[in-house]
Structure 1
Amino acid sequence: MNMRLNYRTANPHVLQALGNLQKASSDTSIDIVLQELIKIRVSQINGCAFCLDMHAKDLMKHGDYLNHIVLLNAWREATIYTERQRAALALAEAVTLISEQGVPDDVYAEARKHFDEKEFMELILAINTINGWNRVAISTGLFPGCFSQPENAKA
């Protein structure tokens, strides 16, 4: 399997812009576990295997979160997520699928119960950032392990 193109070398300006967005998204008050849960959930919705693989591994570096990863697609029924995590995941889903119904008032209200204005905007930034990365990865044909293959590492 080959990726379509190496986004890292195809246009360094675009890579730098995405990197700046990622840096801003990571440099927030939102805890790293929640950031990774958002990245994984959004990547599930978008069907981005490359990002799912990366962020599941990243989350596991912060502790034993295997159950959180396995149950994330059914987070509404799983009792292991905090109310704060649930509010963020609902917001992540609504923003990712924004063309379906926007961000419903109840989703916004629940998120605001757990996140102040600054944190809410940090969540929006994190959600939009991973949506952007998913679209880059899917469009360019990235897949788990693609940069380990010699023919792709040179591209």
Structure 2
Amino acid sequence: MEERFLLKQVQPAAFKAMLALEEYLAATDISPLHMEMIRVRASQLNGCAYCLDKHSQDALTAGETAQRLYLLPVWKESPQFSEAERIILTMVEEITHISKAGLTDDTYAKALAQFGQETTAQLIMAVVTINAWNRIGISSRRIPGQHH
């Protein structure tokens, strides 16, 4: 497998726009652990090896446990995840697989009750942003471990 291109070299304005989304996300109410959980789970679902590698390492650095990372693909069967995390993970799956049913009314209502409208909107933006990065990483064939 050979890397096709680096977005920051070929389309620096697009890369800058994506970084602006990251700056926005850094200022949200989403905890670093929940942010990395969103990024790891979406990257698993999308099959983006580069992002999965990067964000798994970032999650560990942020204090996530190896056990919870191992169990993330089977979170529904794992008691290690809180109710709030289950809502977030359901959002990740429904938004990432948008063509199935999208963000369902049930999940949206649970998110509003748990997080309120502002943070729910922030969580949606976090999922949208990592999905964009995943599509860039897969399309450009980013190679895991090469952080240039």
TM-score normalized with structure 1 length: 0.91
Runs (5+) with no aligned partner, structure 2: none
CA 1:141–1:116 in 2, change beyond 3 Å: closer, same or farther? same
Distance in 2 between residues matched to 1:64 and 1:102, nearest whole Å:
28
Q: CA deviation at 1:24?
A: 0.7
> 1:43-54 maps to which residues of 2 (within 5 A)?
43-54=43-54
Q: Spell out, residue by residue over 1:18-63, the C-alpha distance to the aligned partner (whole angstroms, 9 max, x if none).
A: 1001111221111110000000000011000000000000010122
Match of 2:6 in 1: 6
Percent identity of paired positions between Structure 1 and Structure 2? 36
Runs (5+) with no aligned partner, structure 1: 148-152
- The count of aligned residue pairs is 148
Q: Spell out, residue by residue over 1:121-148, the C-alpha distance to the aligned partner (whole angstroms, 9 max, x if none).
A: 100110000000000000001021234x
> 1:1-150 maps to which residues of 2 (within 5 A)?
1-147=1-147
In 1, are the aligned partners of 2:33 and 2:64 still within 8 Å (CA)?
no
Which 4+ stretches in 1 moved above 4 angstroms? none
Q: CA deviation at 1:7?
A: 1.3
TM-score normalized with structure 2 length: 0.95
Q: CA deviation at 1:3?
A: 0.3
Distance in 1 between residues matched to 2:64 and 2:106, nearest whole Å:
32
- Structure with greater Cα Rg: 1
Q: CA deviation at 1:66?
A: 0.6
Distance in 2 between residues matched to 1:64 and 1:119, nearest whole Å:
21
Q: Which residue identity lines up with residue 56 of structure 1 in the other structure?
A: S
